Structure 1
Amino acid sequence: MELDTMELPRKNKLMEAYQHDPQFSHRFFDYELSAAGYEARAQELMQRSFQRAELAAVIEQYMQPHGISPLAAQYIKELSSDAFVVIGGQQAGILTGPLYSVHKAVSVILMARQQRELLQKPVVPVFWIAGEDHDINEINHTYTANLGKAVKRQFKQPTVLKTMASDTVYDQKELTAFIKKIFKSYGETAYTHDLLENVLRTVEEQQTYTGFFTSLMNELFTQHGLLFLDAAYKPLRQLESKYFSQMIENADKMASTIYSAEQDLHAMGHKKPIESEAQDANLFYVHETGRVLLKRKAGKFVNEQTGLSFSEEEMHEIAAEQPWLLSNNVATRPLMQDLVFPVLAFVGGPGEIAYWSLLREAFHTLGIRMPVIVPRLSITLITRKTQEALKQTGLTINEVLDGQLPWRQEQWMNEQRDEQFDSLLEESKKLLELQYEKMQSHLLKTDPGLLPVVKKNLQFHQSQFDYLQKTKEQSILRKHHVQYERYQTLSEQLFPEGSLQERLYSPYFFINQYGEGFIDQLLKQPYQFDGSHQLVYL
């Protein structure tokens, strides 16, 4: 593997402001992304108290069925004592979800290592799984590459209720068949048999989307001590009981600050990340019909669709006695993370950092400050086949990621056209149409009943010309199929469906080609956490 970096042609406006505009970052965040920021955050954490022993026990209990490596065990022990945490997370996608799930994990591990060395204090990596999310359609699919396109493959097991991913049980037989089809589309390599067997064994051992996700990720990162915890894990909910009460007590003020921050952000020309409202409760309730969002209305916490209505006192009772019936939304999840964990730094993608930008005053409302916010590594993996395609087409990676590939491919196609044939074909079409116009003029006067027949006959001949045109184009493509396939390779590999590769494909697409040591090799690259896009040449 070799590493290079580039600036993405299409920049994210908010991320640009966060990384390059000190006034913006000081307005919406607490700590700067620098050595001084980490030092200041570490000093703050040492003044706060955490349920360390209880948290370490919860993580150990959660990870035990999936396996705990010696390094992970060491990190759990350190966390129970005085360790800081670098944390990031993701929904529980099938086959780990898109590549950026792995890129987040890589980022968390490397940032924890870096800060352990710089601060000379224990810093451990944690992956927070958003198992409380209930939109199964966001996680029940993956993409495969085919004929220049990314094809969405959805696991269509019907779900009726809005159950959390951690509670949603999949059909093992159906998921096994689905994954076999995915691997078949990857193609057979020296690694396929053992890799597929491992994945299918995990399907059989687990029952829920979150369990399946955790086991796969834990196996990929087992040598690196990455700790996992599901946000919906019941023992964690019990640990969070008093923090839910804090959020309930301060729901009004927190919602007001979040709404105000979003209006300020929008006034500066940025999009509204979560479309917040001043009456938000920013909490979900796990109802018999599924997970439902609560609002505040007339002093109550309500969900009008289900008829739920709780007083503040009743909400506190739920938090104390049945905290597993409550869960966070995108606004309160960061707050809960920070109350539970001694978070030195949070690693997130552009979308996550956008909604974190709304939360500074909400943190302050609870008497805490935001951690250092670190943009996750953004990575494109470039196979040798893709490298050759770039070379032979004369395209650069910058041009492809700038969306120039479609018109460059069209330009190449036009250069291969047989202009004399096209001219003769067009001339023939015009002569035919002219003769039919003469026939129609004649029949209009002498036998108008035949006009529909003539029109239909003309359409038939025109369709034959179209068929001839397409056949000629296919002949050209066959003649130049090697070069055409290079353009297709670039399309499906580097910028599929107009998106970065990391947003669609599963890491198993590449692990199938390069073996299970592929993740370990990814972690050995000298990445820079400077906002640049990382190019890994395989």
Structure 2
Amino acid sequence: MMKSTIEPECTGQFSPLFIDYIRKREELKPFYHHYPSLENFKAIIEGRSFGAEKRKVLAESIHRQYEGFELSEPSIKNLEGLGEEKTFTVTTGHQLNLFTGPLYFIYKIVSTINLAEKLQATYPDYRFVPVYWMASEDHDFEEINHFSYEGKKYSWNTDQKGAVGDFELNDSMEAFIKEIGFAPSFFKDAYRLQKTLAGAVRYYVNYLFGEKGLLIVDGHDARLKGLFSEVIKDDLLTNKGNELVNRQTERLEKLGYKSQIFPREINFFYLDKGIRSRIVKTKDGYEILDTGRHFSEEEILSLVDTNPELFSPNVVLRPLYQEYILPNIAYLGGPAEVAYWLQLKLVFDHYQTDYPLVMPRNFAMIKGVRAVRKARALGLSNEQLFVSFEAWKKTYVKEHAASDLSLEKEKKALSAIFEQMGEEAERVDPTLQHAAEAAKTRALKILNHFGKKLRQGEERNLATDLQRMQALKEILFPGGTPQERKNNFLEFYLKDERFIEKLYTHFDPLDFNYIILEDNG
């Protein structure tokens, strides 16, 4: 593969807040700790405090989560290293997509692994462990119950409710797997050998990335939640998270940026078998929406002590929970994630939790052999790939037309004729000047109409090129969606099992430009 890059601004895919963050806009400095650069990690590392007891609980919990799984030697060493005070994590998180879901799931993890390796080379006195945080408690099943392969959507349907990580892989999953005949055996094993969706995702992620030492963390864990119990209680009692995020959001909005997340009075769900429902305050205590369950203040606080796993943070406090239980120094996410982390700095300060370097994952487009050929035939630059088809077509037809589609020369000549006629007619009868102007307007409309017909004729003559561009757009932006947010990585992996290895070579987590990878066959 050949690599080139373009500036993110040229793609038109990112919010102003994201662009201004990676471009180090001065006004945004109060919303984060340090800007993500290799030299700034030194201060983060030296300032990161994480107690021995937390390390012990973390290591034991992850070890227990891996029971029944085969760990690679690098993963074993990283897991053992979590107990050491000079070990730190770099983390990304994502939902439990079927068969990895869209490409950018792979990009997230590759970026995270590369960052850990780059930090290891730069700061050899420390250990850096790449971590994938499974969003096992998420309950939006419709977001993850499908994936797209070669233009076809494959979906798994089940009537299970609650945290998706707990979904059982029953007969409906077996029927679904049989439909995916092209899937490699490790995927089929993941969904057949494991009992839950979380187990299946752990299996295939461990298969794909275990040799790189990646550790997979499931926050749906009683002991890990126990470390977070005081924050759970504080949010139930004081609603401080709601106040602080709203304050930070207001500051961002005054700078002209849109909010990415919206806090609630209580930022925890009640999580039980088949249930993930909001907790709301009532005049008598607390209610679990849509369940009929009620608790007094004393009862719910006692429940936090005895069963902290029943409390699931929402998007506002999930990042705090993650940083609370990990010795983490960096979080890598997509543009929306990076933007909403900027709304959380005051929450971290309030709970005296270290705020990590917040970094964008790598963004990439794969131009396969067909796409490369079509782009070259049209003489397209990488920047032009991101221009809308209609805008590109207008420019392309104008540049390649056999005639002047603007008809500017003809319009000027026609206007001059009618203006001369008007001047001569005015000497005969002053009222004829208006008639001449009206006649000029009608004539120009006729000329404009002819110009449209002329353009349509030129488009017919250039039909092959226009069709080539439409086909190219569908390859790189299927259904109008960026390739990395639509296509599954199997489209590339099944053609080349070294696909992920090649991504390691070309991705640089500290280069925030958009990557174009060309396969020239």
Q: Does 1:90 align with 2:123?
A: no
Cα distance in 1 for residues equivalent to 2:279 and 2:514: 39
- Residue 532 of structure 1: aligned partner: 513
- Residue 495 of structure 2: aligned partner: 513
Letter in 1 for 2:258: K
String of CA shifts for 1:474-510, please: whole Å, max 9, x gaps: xx89x977x5664344122212233221111111111
Q: Does 1:395 align with 2:380?
A: yes
Pairing partner for 2:117 from 113, 117, 142: 113
Cα distance in 2 for residues equivalent to 1:416 and 1:107: 42
Other structure's SS at 1:54 match: helix
Instruction: Quote the offset at 1:325 in angstroms.
Output: 1.3
Letter in 2 for 1:513: K
Q: 1:490 to 1:96 in 2, by over 3 A?
A: same
Letter in 1 for 2:3: L
- Residue 51 of structure 1: aligned partner: 54
Contact 2:88 2:129 in 1 (8 A): yes
Cα distance in 2 for residues equivalent to 1:50 and 1:266: 40
Instruction: Quote the offset at 1:95 in angstroms.
Output: 0.9
Cα distance in 2 for residues equivalent to 1:204 and 1:485: 43
Q: How many residues align?
A: 456
Other structure's SS at 1:367 match: coil
Pairing partner for 1:76 from 76, 79, 86: 79
Q: How does 1:208-227 map to 2 (within 5 A)?
A: 208-227=196-215
Pairing partner for 2:473 from 491, 502, 506: 491
User: Which piece of structure 1 moves more, 86-95 or 54-63?
Assistant: 54-63
Q: Does 1:303 align with 2:275?
A: no
Cα distance in 1 for residues equivalent to 2:509 and 2:272: 45
Cα distance in 2 for residues equivalent to 1:285 and 1:532: 40
Cα distance in 1 for residues equivalent to 2:136 and 2:34: 29
Instruction: Quote the offset at 1:256 in angstroms.
Output: 0.8
Cα distance in 2 for residues equivalent to 1:111 and 1:416: 46
Other structure's SS at 2:267 match: strand
Cα distance in 2 for residues equivalent to 1:163 and 1:33: 33
Letter in 2 for 1:112: A
Letter in 2 for 1:534: I
Pairing partner for 2:148 from 139, 143, 149: 143
Letter in 2 for 1:217: V
Q: Deviation above 4 Å: which 4+ runs of structure 1? A: 47-50, 409-417
User: Which piece of structure 1 moves more, 258-267 or 67-76?
Assistant: 258-267
Other structure's SS at 1:32 match: coil
Q: Does 1:260 align with 2:247?
A: yes
Contact 2:136 2:163 in 1 (8 A): no
Pairing partner for 2:190 from 178, 197, 202: 202
Cα distance in 1 for residues equivalent to 2:386 and 2:160: 39
Contact 2:227 2:325 in 1 (8 A): no
Q: Which runs of 5+ in 2 are unaligned?
A: 404-456
- Residue 442 of structure 1: aligned partner: none
Q: 1:210 to 1:272 in 2, by over 3 A?
A: same
Q: Does 1:132 align with 2:137?
A: yes
Pairing partner for 1:293 from 278, 284, 309: 278
Other structure's SS at 2:137 match: coil
Instruction: Quote the offset at 1:415 in angstroms.
Output: 11
Cα distance in 2 for residues equivalent to 1:502 and 1:495: 9
Instruction: Quote the offset at 1:343 in angstroms.
Output: 0.4
Q: 1:168 to 1:265 in 2, by over 3 A?
A: farther
Query: What is the Cα-based RMSD across aligned positions, in Å?
Result: 2.9
Cα distance in 2 for residues equivalent to 1:65 and 1:366: 36
Q: How does 1:210-289 map to 2 (within 5 A)?
A: 210-232=198-220, 236-251=221-236, 252-277=239-264, 279=265, 281-287=266-272
Instruction: Quote the offset at 1:241 in angstroms.
Output: 1.1
Instruction: Quote the offset at 1:221 in angstroms.
Output: 1.2
Cα distance in 2 for residues equivalent to 1:414 and 1:177: 51
**TM-score by structure 2 length?**
0.80
- Residue 467 of structure 1: aligned partner: none
Q: Which runs of 5+ in 1 are unaligned?
A: 184-194, 420-472
Letter in 1 for 2:19: E
Cα distance in 1 for residues equivalent to 2:4 and 2:250: 38
Contact 2:149 2:490 in 1 (8 A): no
Contact 1:50 1:342 in 2 (8 A): no
Instruction: Quote the offset at 1:139 in angstroms.
Output: 0.1
Cα distance in 2 for residues equivalent to 1:411 and 1:178: 44
Q: 1:156 to 1:4 in 2, by over 3 A?
A: same
